[in-house]
Amino acid sequence: MNIKPWVNQPPEDPAARPATPAAAVEHLLAGNGRVRAAAECACDGELYPAALPKQQPFGVVLGCSDARAPLELVFDAAPNQLFVVRVAGNVLGDECLGSIEYALANFQDSVRLLVVMGHTGCGAVAAAVQTYLSPKHAAGIAFSRSLRSVVNHILVAVRSAALSLEQAWGGDVLEDPGMPAALAELAVPLNAAMTAYQLRLELERLDAAARPEVVYCVYDLLSSRVVGPPDLASVALTPAPKDPAELVELGLQFARSAAVTRHLNLIRGPFADAPAPTPS
């Protein structure tokens, strides 16, 4: 069954965005009408004319809730292909891990891959960077336990990103005006890689035969590419790091990538004529 009416959808027209709750309801019902029409056209009235199939996803994907990073569309997947968990910052809270464990326990015959997908321009990561750099400006989340929970999950990756930048470019990088943007750019892939590593550890208690491969990537909102190491420009779904040493090495690779250094004045900015510092 291959029902994908959204593939040929034109880019969203901002002028046509629903302005009221009633218009939003109408918009959603019209969308569902198009899906039904496509199903009727493709398979004579019912999506599954014979019988409702067993749920058989080949992939489990953990991604961010960001409206610009819709997982099924990113991978052009049809119904019943992906088991999707979306949460701000693609953080691995208890409920998300529980959903993934459920999928692995119930669909082990079909699941072959577990994907963690971060994305460029992630607001949750930006909030964690802001909290890390300027805790006094984190008042917006201070009184919300649930918001703090999302940010706290990501802070580990932000700290690690700061250490990687300092290790790659020296202590001066901490004063660079581009540091917040560089941190956010670097924390996204590190957050995805760390989560993939965490999932890999969680899966070690399963039989080797029932263990899907764990991979991670960053979805670039501008180009629609899913990218990864070594330069955050190569299209890839990268296997989860095997140990903490690999995570450290990844942090350094990413810190030296053009995707990250383009934010740093120290390397590319107003002193672009000066030779770039040698990575240390």
Query: Which C-beta is closer to Zn ion: that of 197 or that of 219?
Result: 219
Q: What is the distance between the alpha carbons of residues 19 and 124, in angstroms, rounded to a whole number?
A: 26
User: CB within 8 A of 41, min separation 6: which ones?
Assistant: none
Part of the chain binding Zn ion (CB under 5 A), chosen from 47-55, 64-72, 226-234, 255-263: 64-72
Part of the chain binding Zn ion (CB under 5 A), chosen from 37-45, 121-129, 154-162, 232-240: 121-129
128 binds Zn ion (CB under 5 A): no
- Give the nearest distance from C-beta 137 to Zn ion in angstroms: 19
Can you say whether residue 230 is alpha, beta or left, with left for phi > 0 and alpha for psi between -120 and 50 degrees?
alpha
* The binder of Zn ion chosen from 60, 61, 62, 64 (CB under 5 A): 64
- Give the nearest distance from C-beta 17 to Zn ion in angstroms: 20
176 binds Zn ion (CB under 5 A): no
* Segment holding 228, helix H or strand E: strand 226-228
Query: Which C-beta is closer to Zn ion: that of 122 or that of 214?
Result: 122
Q: Specify burial of residue 100 (Cβ count, 10 A radius: 0-12, 13-18, 19+).
A: buried
Distance of alpha carbon 54 from its chain centroid, rounded?
A: 28
Query: Which C-beta is closer to Zn ion: that of 219 or that of 254?
Result: 219
Query: Which C-beta is closer to Zn ion: that of 66 or that of 176?
Result: 66
Q: What is the distance between the alpha carbons of residues 195 and 189, in angstroms, rounded to a whole number?
A: 10
Binding flags for Zn ion, 13-52, as an x/- string (CB under 5 A): ----------------------------------------
* The binder of Zn ion chosen from 122, 141, 162, 255 (CB under 5 A): 122
Query: Which C-beta is closer to Zn ion: that of 114 or that of 122?
Result: 122
First to last CA, the chain: 53
220 binds Zn ion (CB under 5 A): no
Q: Write out the two tokens for 187.
A: 């924390």
Q: State the sign of the Cα–Cα–Cα–Cα dihedral 225, 227, 232, 233.
A: negative
66 binds Zn ion (CB under 5 A): yes
Q: What is the distance between the alpha carbons of residues 195 and 180, in angstroms, rounded to a whole number?
A: 22
Q: Which residues contact Zn ion (rule: CB under 5 A)?
A: 64, 66, 122, 124
